[in-house]
């Protein structure tokens, strides 16, 4: 039996040419998670879908098909946040690539979907992007089963103490004792406690959150490069951005 889905809320994560006149489109949807569809004829000059299937715009999507690769049957776009400025655009591309690379296919993540919408809105208006990116990364790794408590050392089961220093292991979280998997060291207890309360209002907190999330995301990527990170790095001339 052919599966048919109608009017599903979702967003375009990425699209690429498929055969001569079609597009292969990666979507993030409310009830079906991440999936890939073929939009037949959408890459032809007269197709309205070529202009509609753009990232960061809320959409109502319909598709059908028997295999894992579905065929898009309709797409209705709505006005979304304005991420046209270069830095905002690169941040949005970073979010999309994380979802595209890390989310397993066709698993619903309604809470993460709501966080994605909120994050896009924040990026469109925020003056500082790092706290917004770090909050989204935290929700994403939680959805993937890699969330951890900043205020608890998992190897000892003891609460983090303000005056001590700790390690970070992507498989365990914050730990007291170094091991071969402890990829970060010297993490200040007072900063970790602030992060456990979701405080990202100091340079030390932002720096620590960025270092930890970079290590964890790289661990989950298993050596795959993020193209959006490379773009951002080249644009800023800086090796430590998103």
The domain segmentation of the chain, as residue ranges, is 7-77, 86-241
15 with 25: CB under 8 angstroms?
Answer: yes
Range in 88-102, 115-129, 218-232 with the lowest mean pLDDT: 218-232
In this model, does residue 240 exceed pLDDT 60? no
Range in 73-82, 115-124, 201-210 with the lowest mean pLDDT: 73-82
What integer pLDDT is reported at residue 87 of this predicted model? 87
In CATH terms, the fold of domain 86-241 is de novo design (two linked rop proteins) (1.20.1440)
Give pTM, 2 decimals. 0.91
Q: What percent of the chain has pLDDT over 70?
A: 96
Mean of pLDDT values over 92-109:
96
Pairing mode, strands 33-39 and 70-77: parallel
Residues in the chain: 242
7-77 matches 86-241 in fold:
no
Measured CA to CA, the distance from residue 226 to residue 97 in angstroms comes to 7
In this model, does residue 164 exceed pLDDT 80? yes
What's domain 7-77's superfamily in CATH?
A: Nucleic acid-binding proteins (2.40.50.140)
Q: What is the per-residue pLDDT across 3-22, written as a single tens digit (0 to 9) for each?
A: 899 999 999 999 999 988 99
What integer pLDDT is reported at residue 2 of this predicted model? 63
What integer pLDDT is reported at residue 101 of this predicted model? 95
In this model, does residue 209 exceed pLDDT 60? yes
What is the pLDDT confidence band of residue 66, given thresholds at 50, 70 and 90? confident
Measured CA to CA, the distance from residue 213 to residue 150 in angstroms comes to 12
What integer pLDDT is reported at residue 242 of this predicted model? 61
First-to-last C-alpha distance (Å) of the chain:
44
Q: What percent of the chain has pLDDT over 90?
A: 75
Range in 93-102, 176-185, 221-230 with the lowest mean pLDDT: 221-230
Q: What is the per-residue pLDDT across 107-161, written as a single tens digit (0 to 9) for each?
A: 999 999 999 999 999 999 888 899 999 999 999 999 999 999 999 999 999 999 9
34 with 99: CB under 8 angstroms?
Answer: yes
């Amino acid at each position: 039996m052919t599966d048919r889905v109608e009017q599903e809320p979702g967003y375009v994560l990425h699209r690429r040419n498929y055969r001569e006149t079609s597009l292969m489109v990666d979507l993030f949807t409310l009830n079906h998670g991440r999936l890939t569809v073929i939009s037949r004829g959408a890459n032809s000059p007269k197709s309205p879908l070529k202009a509609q299937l753009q990232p960061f715009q809320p959409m109502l999507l319909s598709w059908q098909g028997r295999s894992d690769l579905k065929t898009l049957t309709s797409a209705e776009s709505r006005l979304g946040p304005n991420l046209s400025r270069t830095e905002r655009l690169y941040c949005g591309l970073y979010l999309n690539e994380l979802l595209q690379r890390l989310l397993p296919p066709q698993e619903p993540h309604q809470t993460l979907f709501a966080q994605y919408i909120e994050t896009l809105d924040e990026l469109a208006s925020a003056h500082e992007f790092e706290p917004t990116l770090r909050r989204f990364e935290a929700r994403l790794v939680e959805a993937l089963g890699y969330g951890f408590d900043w205020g608890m050392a998992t190897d000892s089961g003891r609460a983090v103490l303000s005056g001590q220093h700790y390690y970070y292991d992507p498989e365990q979280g914050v730990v007291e004792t170094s091991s071969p998997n402890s990829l970060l060291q010297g993490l200040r207890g007072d900063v970790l406690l602030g992060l456990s309360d979701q405080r990202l209002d100091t340079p030390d907190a932002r720096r620590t959150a960025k270092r930890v999330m970079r290590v964890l995301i790289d661990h989950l990527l298993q050596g795959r490069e993020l193209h959006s990170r490379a773009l951002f790095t080249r644009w800023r001339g800086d090796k430590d951005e998103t």
